[in-house]
Structure 1
Amino acid sequence: MAQATRKTTEQIPLTQRLKTVLPFVSALLLLIGATVLVLTLQQRYRDSDSWQLQRVRVEGAMRQVKSAEVLAAMQVQAGMTLAALDLRQLHERVAALPWVKSVSLRRVYPGELQVTVVERTPWLRLNQDELIDTDGNPYAPANVAAFGHLALLRSSHGQLEQAVAQFVGGNDQLKPLGLTIVELDLNGRGALMMTLNNKLQLMFGRDDWDGRLQRFMSLYPGLVADGNVPTYIDLRYDTGFAVAWPQTEKMTNSKTAGL
């Protein structure tokens, strides 16, 4: 009786362990079976004529990007197997188009590839041969000349962030005077010049741009009180300024200044 009692006591832990392990084994077998099924179906999709690419649908609010341009960049053809398409490679090809801000691709079985394009919104011109989008990123489309109405920035790419900041900040400060910047030039030596919408040029030099802009705003109402707008105002002085008028070179507090 003692031996029988010991055998029963030894069998109970083993049974409990089996009950604990069996759910994990079942789950593992189900996972293996599902993986094999997916791989098998995927291979059938790759080889099946019924899953071949029949149509590419290009969608999005596009004014500059053309569907034909997207299709040409992708280099896909009817009859290619839909499941075998390399979406990452196709994404890179479409995203490389100058006017494309972002793109997403999705397989729609049985035979369609859906391409959704988000187009860049032009904001400024850059050095005559590029545009800047509303996110501040430069790009070089073929039709830059069609956007001559946009304000122009002249700057290297290395100084672009600084030039954009001065354009935005300058326009905010000039707004109460009814003035806007139509051209901003930040040259290689760091000297700043602006042309305003009344054709007035402002020369700031390399230092204290914000302070000199404030000085201009304080003197501007008095300068144009008689209705005449200067040709340029040179603010490259610690205290004074120089003013040039359209017909006569009338100078106020002029001093020699160099860039």
Structure 2
Amino acid sequence: MVSAIRDLQGYRREPVAKAPPPQESQKPAAAIAPSRPFPWGKTLRASLGGGLLLALGFGALQAWDWVRQPALMPIATIHIEGLSSKIPVYRINRAIAPFLGQGFLWVNLTQVRDALQQVPWVANADVRRVWPDRIAIDLQGVQPVARWLGGAGEVLGKDGKVYPVPANEIPQQLPALFGPADAGLQMLQERQKLDQTLAPLHLQVRALELDPRGGWRCILSNGVRLVLGREKIMEGVQRWVSVAPEIKQYLVPGASMDLRYNNGFAVALPEAASTSVSEGSAAPRSERK
């Protein structure tokens, strides 16, 4: 018994190894990035660049305002071609006066041209800059060929356009045209044909009218009125021209002659007496079906 106890006392117990704790599923810890210093140099350069751009933009704006000043390059001379008794210089000066203060560089030439073309008797205006300080104006006057609507303030130009002009400046010797607003060129061409047809009688058309229904009438230089109708106008006038020398007693101012018949015409004298000058159909051709 004693020996057993001694054996037990001399026995050294080996330490028992402990089992490792169970591994938990965890992600590896992220590495902590080292701190970086603030980029003062880059920020300073960006700030300086932005400030420089703002300064340049402001300077450019100031320079633009300075360049736009009319006093920088004023208009020194205005050269005008095409003045006449109907286009006096005072009318031109009055038209362009509102634009002269804009200066040479910034004067609106289109607006100047539009203003000039509103001046009476100006058909067209060419406006251009001549460096360094001159404005050149070339005017084309209206070439009137007829008094439009009797000359109550408008004339028909050679180009067939209607131009407003002072009524007291319209030459009275011009023929008068009465018709729709868009028929000016057509009426001008028709009048020229009539004048050529009437040339053997040394007569011209003094007034020509086109009514809304398409009927033509005219008054000749001897005061005789011709009713021409709507169709075959020149044929009727040619027949009348061939007979007119034989009926001189009827060619008096105020007489009216209806040429709308196929083979003749009718005459109404100033005292309202009517007579048949030659045989023909009983009704005018423009009224026949």
TM-score tier after normalising by the smaller chain length: 0.7 to 0.9
Q: 1:248 Cα shift?
A: 7.1
1:222 corresponds, among 246, 252, 256, to 246
The answer to whether structure 1 residue 203 and structure 2 residue 227 are counterparts is yes
More helix by share: 1
Matches for 1:130-145 after TM superposition, within 5 Å = 130-143=154-167
The answer to whether structure 1 residue 156 and structure 2 residue 197 are counterparts is no
For structure 2, the residue ranges without an aligned partner over 5 or more in a row are: 1-63
Q: Given residue 242 of structure 1, which amino acid in structure 2 is its aligned partner?
A: A
Q: 1:178 Cα shift?
A: 0.6
The alignment covers a number of residue pairs equal to 217
CA contact under 8 A between 2:147 and 2:175: conserved in structure 1?
Answer: yes
**TM-score with structure 1 length normalisation?**
0.73
Q: 1:49 Cα shift?
A: 4.2
Q: Given residue 175 of structure 1, which amino acid in structure 2 is its aligned partner?
A: A
Identity of aligned residues (%): 23
RMSD: 2.8
The corresponding residue for 1:65 is 87
CA contact under 8 A between 1:106 and 1:115: conserved in structure 2?
Answer: yes
The answer to whether structure 1 residue 102 and structure 2 residue 124 are counterparts is yes
Alpha-carbon distance between aligned partners in 2 of 1:77 and 1:214, rounded to the nearest angstrom? 56
Q: What is the CA deviation profile of residues 136-167 of structure 1, one whole-angstrom value per residue up to 9, with x for unaligned ones?
A: 21111123564222100111123333322210
Task: Determine helix, strand or coil for the equivalent of 2:113.
Answer: helix
Q: Given residue 68 of structure 1, which amino acid in structure 2 is its aligned partner?
A: Y
For structure 1, the residue ranges without an aligned partner over 5 or more in a row are: 1-41
The corresponding residue for 1:185 is 209
Task: Determine helix, strand or coil for the equivalent of 1:62.
Answer: coil
Q: 1:117 Cα shift?
A: 1.1
CA contact under 8 A between 1:50 and 1:110: conserved in structure 2?
Answer: no
The corresponding residue for 1:33 is none
**TM-score with structure 2 length normalisation?**
0.66
Q: Given residue 235 of structure 1, which amino acid in structure 2 is its aligned partner?
A: L
Alpha carbons of 1:184 and 1:104: their partners in 2 closer, same or farther (altered >3 Å)? Answer: same
* Structure whose CA Rg is larger: 2
Which structure has more RCO (C-alpha within 8 Å, separation ≥ 6)? Answer: 1
Q: What is the CA deviation profile of residues 180-227 of structure 1, one whole-angstrom value per residue up to 9, with x for unaligned ones?
A: 110111111111111111111111111210111111111111111xx5
CA contact under 8 A between 1:62 and 1:117: conserved in structure 2?
Answer: no
